[in-house]
Structure 1
């Protein structure tokens, strides 16, 4: 099969388009013919410095497609079924093998390309807001990197839950594109001081919850943006900066900082069912999947470079 692979960590230029052996179907797994790869922020981070679990390595968490082989111990999935999948690696390829627990059926009539983006992004956003963020109707949420995949999902889910939603992005144009999703107040972090803007918008109260997939210096701003008893759900290190922060503002305001990693619980009944529910809600039009751009799988390097330019709004797909 064809795949986007690399032999060493580095920038987008390390990705090569080559023939590699077809994946083997595990007795408790399935193999899918990939129709769309949803590139995650973690994919680019892994390309920079993650372990090479295969040689050459096929990176990537998420992909959607059609099941072409079912393991002997799998009873809930069938050949020909469309599924969205998430696993530690292997998405950037024409075929991928995943545990059956890491595949979610796509409702009939729903585009598998859209479904391919949902498990990690919407699942992560939901955990940041509800499972760990304890969001309640009437509260105020700040979504850092609002134009990211997790950001786009968090804005919609928070607004639907009755929250007032603030979000940051790198340009006014990107912020405008987020307003139809439920954004109430946008903050251009390149031209405005985020903390000062948050305090102005909230009449110096601060926000009840911050979803922060960026980390680094952004995380410090998230802590300083909190109201009394406010919470931060820290879910990533997209900024690629050292995680060095002063946590003393937490104690003074009885605030909290919680690390969130969907991968630690994605195999549980709770998380699996939550992701399936989100896919079904999107299929009914209750949630919007935003696709910024698609690239052929053969141009995976260009797609990664585009993501790292921070111009995208929503997800970038690779099409085998």
Structure 2
């Protein structure tokens, strides 16, 4: 099969488009013919510094497609069924082997490219807001990196969950404008404004109840400083690729809290599995908008990764074999 592979960590240029052996079927898994690959922020981080679990390595969490083989111990899935899938690696390829538990049926008529972008992206945003952020209707939210995949999902889910004010940051006013139809109330250009000060201005010096932070690095301290009394930060990534050094003492006076969120730790649970299926079904019904910025052929994986790292995208970047 064809795949985007690399032999060493590095920038997008390490990705090569090559022939590699087809994946093997596990008795408790399926093989899918990949139709769409949603590139996650974690995919670019793994390419940059993550372990190479195979050699050459096929990176990637999320892909959707059609089941072409079913393991002997799998009873609830069948050949020809469309599914969205998640696994630790292997999405950047024409075929993919995944555990059956990591598959979610895609409703008839729903765009397979959008389905590919839901499980990790929307599942993570939902957990950041509700499971760990404990968001209640009437509370206020700040989404760092609002134009990212998780950011776009978090803005919609926060507004749908009854948030009275949804703020988000991005690198340009143009990107922020594109988020307003999704439920953004006020945008903050982090290149021209100091985020905590702007948050306080927009909330009458109260701060926000919940922050979703997928950036980390110095941004994380800004998230803490943007909190209201008893506010909560859900820290879910290190897209900024800088060390996370925070002043823990800055949380004490306001009884603030900081939670690390990693969907993968609970993705095999019934709670997360069922929630992801509900999110896919809601998107298929038009209740959530899966924003796809650009679509690249898999053969141009290096260009797709470079485009993501340019921070020009709004939403997900998808590849098709």
TM-score band, normalised by shorter chain:
over 0.9
Gaps (5+ residues) in structure 2? none
Aligned equivalents of 1:130, 1:31: Cα separation in 2: 33
Residue 5 of structure 1 is matched in structure 2 by 5
Deviations 1:213-267 (A, max 9, x none): 0000000000000000000000000000001111111111101000000000001
Deviation at 1:73, TM superposition (A): 0.2
Question: Match of 1:80?
Answer: 80
1:1-320 aligned within 5 A: 1-163=1-163, 164-320=165-321
Aligned-partner SS, 1:110: coil
5+ residue gaps, structure 1, are none
Return the alpha-carbon distance in structure 1 between the equivalents of residues 248 and 101 of structure 2. Answer: 37
Tell me how far apart the structure 2 counterparts of residues 200 and 229 of structure 1 sit (CA, whole Å): 19
Measure, in 1, the Cα distance between the counterparts of 2:122 and 2:35.
20
- Deviation, structure 1 residue 162: 1.0
**Offset of residue 111 of structure 1:** 1.1
The answer as to whether partners of 1:172 and 1:188 remain within 8 angstroms in 2 is: yes
Deviations 1:94-118 (A, max 9, x none): 0000000011000111111110000
Aligned length, in residue pairs:
320
- Whole-Å separation in 2 of the counterparts to 1:300 and 1:212: 27
The alignment's TM-score, normalised by the length of structure 1, stands at 1.00
Deviations 1:2-44 (A, max 9, x none): 0000000000000000000000110000000000100000000
Deviation for aligned residue 1:141: 0.2
Distance 1:287 1:144 in 2: 20
Q: TM-score with structure 2 length normalisation?
A: 0.99
CA contact (8 A) 1:223 1:247 kept: no
Say whether the 8 Å CA contact 1:132–1:258 is kept in structure 2.
yes
What is the distance in 2 between the residues matched to 1:51 and 1:76?
Answer: 33
- Residues in 2 aligned to 1:309 and 1:248: alpha-carbon distance in whole angstroms: 34
